[in-house]
Chains A and B, each alone.
Chain A
Amino acid sequence: MKQSLLPTVAHRIAILCYIAFALFPLFWLLKVSVTPNDLLYSEGVRMWPSRTTFDHYAFVLRHSSFPTFFKNSLIVSGSTAVVVTVCASLSGYALSRFSFRAKYWIVALMLLTQMFPLVMLVAPIFKILSPLGLTNSLTGLVFVYSAFNVPFATFLMQSFFDGIPKDLEEAAMIDGATKFTAFRQIILPLTLPGIAATLGFVFTAAWSELLFALMLINGNAAATFPVGLLTFVSKFSVDFGQMMAAGVLALIPAGLFFLLIQRYLVQGLTAGAVKG
């Protein structure tokens, strides 16, 4: 059967438009990062500079604190993602499988934490962390990010566990597994897509978080990459070339991470919705 061409073409064009719109800022980031400083303001608005250079990248990598920011961000985001996913797996499993007295209130409380604008909490959190010596430290950031991401990640994981039939665990227990062994050997492997989705979600959330990093960290030693980017803004000028180069470099780990988990992610985000 021959399909009509017009709807297909229109469909593809619509998708192309969307992609162009979504990716244009990224393209601009890339473009500015390879534009030599002398051409940045002299050439006007052009899609691609007449001359390209990697000087900005070289400078950012060799002479700025960017490698430190990058390392800090990697540590904070990675630890947060792992801590949150482990906690959320366990709590999500509990919410999905066990019935206990305070369940309703715990869920309500977790939901409540998601209702406040974060700005409101900056001052109290600073007050709490400061006497503990957790300001200006990566550990402090991991604590704060984890605390904020666990509730949502828990709900996410719960929905993945809900999608796995209870019979499987029961079969495993009758086969001779303890509840925890059944969880580890039967349920967890089946939840891998969900875990990947949670890891990815939390990692990017922590990677791009600015507000708390800005408030809790001062000085370059413990600054994460979003805070670090601001150091390219000086009192009298903004070094756009270097800033953009740093931005491109910062995209790499997030991009790599999603490349690794994307196979699971697509599965994961649909698995809960449709009964397979």
Chain B
Amino acid sequence: MASIEIEKLEKSYGHVSVLHGIDLDIRDGEFIVLVGPSGCGKSTLLRMIAGLEGVSKGEIRIAGNRVNDLHPKDRDIAMVFQSYALYPHMNVAGNMSYSLRLRKTAKEKIGAAVAGAAAKLGLEPLLERRPKALSGGQRQRVAMGRAIVRQPKAFLFDEPLSNLDARLREQMRAEIKKMHADLKATSIYVTHDQIEAMTLADRIVAMHGGVVQQVGSPLDLYDRPANLFVAGFIGSPGMNFLDVTYSGGALRLKDGSQIEASVPESTPEGSSLTLGIRPEHVVITSDGRGRRALVELIEPTGFGIILHLSLHGIAFKVFTLDRQALAVTGEIMVAFPAEHIHLFNDEGKRIG
């Protein structure tokens, strides 16, 4: 187990720059999730840590040692690939023991390590099978088993659950979390799925356009998103955004109506801001408070109900647990509790 430090890391392919000065300190035993839309550079960053991509600028240190020029085999890390990358010509036991055999580990030790990993993942009856004869979920387990047979300095996961169906993904997610609680291994996990990020991470690193947008605990990112990107990316259904202007000491919507919220004192008069509020924080009122919105679509999810509204012509979502919302038609009144309002300045940065 080891800590990983990343300092001013840059990556470019020819003239195309994909990572712009990434700084990140990962503590020993921490579970870090890199999250972001496709093309944000999260996989590239992971592959650079693994040594599968070269470093254009900056430094990566594993356990305090600079590894920039180290071959992947000498970095002592394990990786689970999205495609699983199982060796088709070896059986399950062969796949799991390959890394140990390369290190010329004693046969008894290999046997014990494979048996231990197989027991943890429920793979004992499958040890003699080839990958071809396994289901997707079983392949995924073998890929995990291959990573845990030895004690590497860190585990890297590159969207390991993307190829599984929803039910299996949920199950494996829990298993990965259990495994981490059990092994306490430094882990870096790449995903575009924000539920995976929220549920697994000790800290989330939200990335966009090759730049780290915010680093923090899942609830930090949910409660206090640092900018518009994080606010919109974390949470499902996504946050609602409304354009407002600050004038006369209050926030005003385009139609001039006021919204109550605590605005920092330094905010200049007349500045245009973006107001954000999560669909689950919007309140449907029946006592005439709030503002009018047109119901356009109702999506029941079983657990709750998503209402698609139109507020001053802007698409707006509400998530409610109240089943009576299923019956609403025409117009309803919605209110924005001040404590749940996020404010962003014209650069997209959080101001309150």
Contacts and interface: CB of A to CB of B under 8 A. Distances in A.
Nearest to A189: B89
A190 B88 contact: yes
A270 interface: no
Contact of A171 (B51, B71, B79, B89): B79
Contacts of A44: none
Contacts of B78: 174-175
B85 interface: yes
B50 A174 contact: yes
Contacts of B86: 171
A178 B71 contact: yes
Contact of A173 (B52, B87, B146): B52
B85 A168 contact: yes
A29 interface: no
A218 interface: no
Interface string B259-274: 0000000000000000
A167 B85 contact: yes
A237 to B, nearest CB: 57
A168 to B, nearest CB: 5
A176 interface: yes
B88 A178 contact: no
B167 interface: no
A28 B341 CA distance: 92
Contact of A176 (B88, B89, B103): B103
Contacts of A181: 102
Contacts of B88: 190
Interface string A207-247: 00000000000000000000000000000000000000000
A251 B72 CA distance: 50
A64 to B, nearest CB: 47
A167 B81 CA distance: 7
A168 B83 CA distance: 9
A170 B81 contact: yes
Interface in B40-73: 50-52, 71-73
A177 interface: yes
A135 to B, nearest CB: 45
Contacts of B50: 170, 174
Contacts of B85: 165, 167-168, 170-171
A172 B98 contact: yes
A269 interface: no
A174 B73 contact: yes
B99 interface: yes
B87 A168 contact: yes
A45 B46 CA distance: 76
Q: What interface size band does chain A fall in?
A: 10 to 19
B102 A177 contact: yes
A178 to B, nearest CB: 6
Contacts of B32: none
Tell which of A170, A173, A176 has the most Cβ of chain B within 10 Å.
A176
A175 to B, nearest CB: 4
A177 B87 CA distance: 13
Contacts, number: 53
Contacts of B77: 174
A129 interface: no
A168 B103 CA distance: 18
A170 B82 CA distance: 12
A129 B103 CA distance: 48
Contact of B71 (A172, A173, A189, A190): A173
Interface string B142-155: 00001000000000
A173 B86 CA distance: 13
B71 A174 contact: no
A186 interface: yes
Contacts of A172: 87, 98
A181 B99 CA distance: 12
A109 B4 CA distance: 46
Contacts of A174: 50-52, 72-73, 77-79
Given A170-B52, A190-B89, A175 B83 contact: no
A272 to B, nearest CB: 16
A186 to B, nearest CB: 6
A19 to B, nearest CB: 34
A172 B102 CA distance: 10
Contacts of B72: 170, 173-174
Contacts of B52: 170, 173-174
A165 B81 CA distance: 12
A171 B65 CA distance: 23
Contacts of B79: 170-171, 174
B105 to A, nearest CB: 10
Interface string B88-99: 110000000011
Given A167-B81, A167-B83, A171-B79, A178 B89 contact: no
Interface string A150-194: 000000000000000101101111111110010000100110000
B73 A177 contact: yes
B81 A175 contact: no
11 contacts: A167-B83, A167-B85, A170-B50, A171-B85, A174-B77, A174-B79, A176-B102, A177-B73, A178-B71, A178-B73, A181-B102
Interface of B: 50-52, 71-73, 77-79, 81, 83, 85-89, 98-99, 102-103, 146
Given A170-B72, A171-B79, 17 more contacts: A165-B83, A168-B87, A170-B79, A170-B81, A170-B85, A171-B81, A171-B86, A173-B71, A174-B52, A174-B79, A175-B73, A175-B98, A176-B102, A176-B103, A178-B71, A189-B89, A190-B88
Lowest 10 A-B CB distances belong to which pairs? A167-B85, A175-B99, A171-B85, A176-B102, A173-B72, A176-B73, A174-B79, A189-B89, A167-B83, A167-B81
